[in-house]
Structure 1
Amino acid sequence: MAGMGRRLSSFGFLSSLGHGVNDLYFFALPMVLPLLLKEYALSYRLAGLVLASYLGIVAIFSYLFGRGSDRFSPWILIGGGFLLASMGFLGAGLSPARAGVLSSLAAAAVGAATFHPVIYSLIARLEPVRPGRAFGSFELYGGLAILAMYLAGGLLLSWMGWRGVLAAVGVPGLAMGLLFLRPAPAAAPAGGKVQAPAGAGAGPERGLRGAGAGLVFFLVASGLRFLTTTAVTNFLPTYLAMDRQLPPSLAAYVSGLVFAGGAAVVWWGAVADRGPPLTVLLLASGALAPLVFVFSLRLPFWAILPVLFLFGAFNGGCGPAQNLVLSALGSRAGSGAVFGLLLAVISLIGALSPALFGLLADHLGLETTMRLFALPALAGWLLLLVFQRTSWGLPLRR
């Protein structure tokens, strides 16, 4: 028992550390986007298309890798993904041509897609006692890494430029890839294989069918929330730099407040373990639309700061509760195929939001577009209320 505890503790640390590194791959591009706009004379529409293409690649390969983790070693998938993503960001930072930058970022997106669907499945299998707290701690490391990136990135942007930032983001994943590719991962039970949850032997297709219409309805509600949060977090540095006229380095520092607020995810995870996770998700997600609307108003600079912090705190609170609900809705909580499909669809919806945001910003301006993007989060929250009162949500109220 002591040996198993040490293995789980080692797995928790490795997965959380890996999450911190992997999340850098999702927010490095938005952070340098204001400088890319200037260097390549991009419109907001084209900037949104670049972000949407990156996230679209992540969406497609998230499902493929999640499904593959039911058949192949998850350690090899994650380790190989880290190495590919790192080489992609290093290539983007070092490439002198725009075509080289874009192709390297596409390769990085494929590598970045491996981690989340595979690791969520492993957490559900290896941390069954307090999954909410495990998911909360896992999400915390991602938020802390992004916060550190925005704080250090503001300095690096002024010192090394956007190329230096992209290249620097590629370095930590080289070490993480080698750690996950070790022949005997510290988290693996005896024999080096991860134990599948009960009933997982019938294959991923049956698990996806077993999730049913309730999963689809819940996915739509979550996707609407992600439509708001993805657009806001991806365009936040650009919004602050272009609309609020902050220097790009200061815009990066201020954007980091969202991820500083995300540290509350540990507390939210513990709350989700005690209370009905669907109720916790309703409480956390219900604050997002009002906060985005308030942020879009012409507030003084000092008033922006607590709004962004609170947005990060409530947005972070959605993660553990959402993962617990998804596990309950799926016929196999640990199925890589189920998690891969969910993350793929959500990522695909998120991929559309930067393109839509950029298109609207070209015609309506950044401020009006930011205000309009509070509406999807509101619609998603209303759908969750409906979901709670159906037969799908009934078991999740207890």
Structure 2
Amino acid sequence: MSTPSLGRERHPDLGSSGPSAPLAPRRYAWGVFALAFALALTDFIDRQIIVSTFPFLKDEWGLSDTQLGALVSVVSVTVGLGALPLARLADRWSRTKSIALMGAVWSLAAFGCAISGNYAQMVAARAAVGAGEAGYGPAGGALLAGLFPQRLRSTVAGAFLSAGPIGAVFGVFLGGLMVGQLGWRVTLGVFAVPGLLFALLFLKVREHHAAVTGPATATATRHVPVPPASLRAILAELFRARTAVPAYLAGALQLVVLSTLFAWLPSYLTRAYGYTDTRAGAVSAVAILASAVGTVALGNLADRAGAVRARNKLVLPAALALVALALLTTAFGSVPPGPLQLCLIVAGTFAVASAVGPVPAVVMDVVRPSVRATALGMMVLVQNLFGLAVGPLLTGWLSDAYGLPAALTVMPLFCVGAAAALWRASRTYEQDLRVQARRDTPPSDAL
């Protein structure tokens, strides 16, 4: 009998007898996905809608571009600092209850943004938004990973994480429509209401678990807490796989560029094209929507490439990172404002999202199921502190010093580092998959 390629090997998982085995009834799994996606959507609307208020805050409070960028970056800082402890809480307590709690916290913090009386209060409220968001991605990603088979993880992770750019689309577009009519305060607070409702609905979600040796389709049970472990043991598990560190780094460097575009494209269009806030929001929404499509489509393409050979799941986004570099530096550095520049920006934003789905999927592939939320928490920590927090703030600083067009020309150079890190991770991914498969295979399965 011939040996199948690594991309098609059996990778045992919690409650699964193979990569195609469902871990929960399909309809239930997709229902939970829909609720998780909807809550994430309100998260990123609350997180991103502030960029449409930049011109109003700049005029009312006399803020610099650096200060405006900090209102975006402070959320990423608190998300990064809180991600790991809150993800560990989700692993040990309850992922669904953690999700409900965090959704309520960031929604209430969005109200705080709306009633801020000065810049310091706004910074504090935005930090609270990040504190609420900190553990949601890891807990949600780990919950979904337990509901879907390994062969779909990049696709599901990419679709779940596409709530980020899609939420940013709604935030920028609807913010641009509302801010001129309703004012910046109502604009910042209105989406807190659906966030609270979705958070409360998560209290009705049941977590699905099964023993490793159990049937392919799990039954609903209570969350099984992870036994206490030392910090040293947890870190050893998170960094045991050689693929993990370059994967964490690659995701962060790619997000430097993506967060820059999300935060500053509306302001660039207002300044360079003379667009109204509404039109700048609409055009920015098209570019951000392209990144959402790229997150899902390129995540699925990475899954398909990985089915041929596992390392291709990382090689493909490495190549696309260089494509994004060429498109974006050309757009902002060589092409004058006009239709061609807008097309290049949209195409570059599509390509730069190529690593959003594969990176968390790869991280979950190479750690034990019991620490998936913690592993994603580590990923969120690195990506927020060294990715999402860097892009808007550094771009604002460069804009104050050299102008916004120059800043947007320089920032895509981070794609070079992302491509190098993805390539490095691809060289060890297949071996780490084999090691993890052996660790998760019950002794009774041995031939």
- Does the pair score TM above 0.5? yes
Q: Provide the secondary structure at the position in 2 that maps to 1:193.
A: coil
How far 1:299 sits from its partner (Å)?
A: 2.6
Q: Kindly indicate which of the two structures has a greater share of residues assigned to helix.
A: 1
Overall identity of the aligned pairs, in %: 20
1:112 pairs with one of 133, 152, 177: 133
Q: Give deviations 1:156-183, integer Å, cap 9, x for gaps.
A: 022112212101122210111111123x
Q: Does the aligned pair in 2 maintain the 1:281–1:318 contact within 8 Å?
A: yes
How far 1:194 sits from its partner (Å)?
A: 4.3
Once the two structures are superposed, the pairs formed by residues 124-163 of structure 1 within 5 Å of their partners are: 124-129=145-150, 130-163=152-185
Question: In structure 2, what residue type is equivalent to 1:224?
Answer: L
Mean Cα displacement is larger for which, 303-312 or 319-328? 303-312
How far 1:140 sits from its partner (Å)?
A: 3.7
Question: In structure 2, what residue type is equivalent to 1:227?
Answer: V
1:241 pairs with one of 270, 274, 277: 270
Structure 1 residue 317 and structure 2 residue 378: aligned? Answer: no
Q: Does the aligned pair in 2 maintain the 1:10–1:187 contact within 8 Å?
A: no
Structure 1 residue 102 and structure 2 residue 123: aligned? Answer: yes
Distance 1:49 1:151 in 2: 21
Q: Does the aligned pair in 1 maintain the 2:169–2:288 contact within 8 Å?
A: yes
Structure 1 residue 278 and structure 2 residue 299: aligned? Answer: no
Structure 1 residue 85 and structure 2 residue 85: aligned? Answer: no
Distance 1:271-1:207 versus aligned 2 partners, 3 A rule: farther
Distance 1:220 1:355 in 2: 19
Question: In structure 2, what residue type is equivalent to 1:240?
Answer: L
Once the two structures are superposed, the pairs formed by residues 239-318 of structure 1 within 5 Å of their partners are: 239-261=268-290, 262-276=292-306, 277-297=313-333, 298-318=335-355
Q: Does the aligned pair in 2 maintain the 1:125–1:195 contact within 8 Å?
A: no
Normalising by the residue count of structure 2, what TM-score does the alignment of the two structures yield? Answer: 0.79
Q: How many residues align?
A: 391
Normalising by the residue count of structure 1, what TM-score does the alignment of the two structures yield? Answer: 0.88
Q: Give deviations 1:8-32, integer Å, cap 9, x for gaps.
A: 1221211222222222133122232
Q: Does the aligned pair in 1 maintain the 2:176–2:277 contact within 8 Å?
A: yes
Q: Does the aligned pair in 2 maintain the 1:122–1:334 contact within 8 Å?
A: no
Distance 1:381-1:396 versus aligned 2 partners, 3 A rule: farther
Q: Give deviations 1:40-73, integer Å, cap 9, x for gaps.
A: 1111222223322221111111122111111111
Structure 1 residue 208 and structure 2 residue 235: aligned? Answer: yes
Once the two structures are superposed, the pairs formed by residues 375-394 of structure 1 within 5 Å of their partners are: 375-388=413-426, 390=427, 392-394=428-430
The aligned counterpart of 2:411 is 373
The aligned counterpart of 1:25 is 46
Q: Provide the secondary structure at the position in 2 that maps to 1:126.
A: coil
Distance 1:45-1:143 versus aligned 2 partners, 3 A rule: closer
The aligned counterpart of 2:18 is none
Mean Cα displacement is larger for which, 236-245 or 33-42? 236-245
Q: Does the aligned pair in 2 maintain the 1:327–1:333 contact within 8 Å?
A: no
Distance 2:432 2:254 in 1: 20
2:380 pairs with one of 315, 321, 343: 343
Distance 2:172 2:38 in 1: 17
What stretches of structure 1 of length at least 5 have no aligned partner?
A: none
Mean Cα displacement is larger for which, 67-76 or 48-57? 48-57
Distance 2:393 2:168 in 1: 22
Q: Provide the secondary structure at the position in 2 that maps to 1:127.
A: coil
Distance 1:82 1:194 in 2: 19
The aligned counterpart of 2:96 is 75
Distance 1:232-1:5 versus aligned 2 partners, 3 A rule: closer
Distance 1:34 1:188 in 2: 47
The aligned counterpart of 1:228 is 257
Distance 1:324 1:97 in 2: 41
